[in-house]
Copies of this chain bind each other. A is one copy, B any other.
């Protein structure tokens, strides 16, 4: 049996995949993988996801250069969530130019952004 068959894909053929930065322990992103995304991630050791908004496979960093080099791929106890441990190229995982996507913190009943933009998205993606 392939390791891909052990994963409990949801009705859309996807599982949530968490990316954690190896050096800092920071949780960078939560994205989604289909079977092909996980297979390519494992084969190439670069994170691939399924973009639900664009409806296509997506190699993280393909536009931004902010590739995630995969050091470890983990599965949870009920086989429906993935954790990948990565080195984040450029130290920027988020399309907003921040280190990670989880940059809003609940504070006094409101979400407040508490992490800086490290690079202007226009400089990352072009205008």
Contacts and interface: CB of A to CB of B under 8 A. Distances in A.
Interface of A: 2-3, 6, 16, 18, 20, 24-27, 29-30, 42, 72-79, 81, 83, 94-96, 98, 101-106, 109-111
A42 B106 contact: yes
A76 B102 contact: yes
Please tell me how many copies of the chain the complex holds: 2
B110 A83 contact: no
Contact of A104 (B76, B103, B105): B76
A96 B105 CA distance: 31
21 contacts: A3-B109, A16-B16, A16-B30, A16-B81, A18-B30, A20-B27, A27-B27, A29-B76, A42-B106, A74-B106, A75-B105, A75-B111, A76-B102, A76-B104, A77-B98, A77-B103, A77-B104, A78-B101, A79-B104, A81-B101, A81-B102
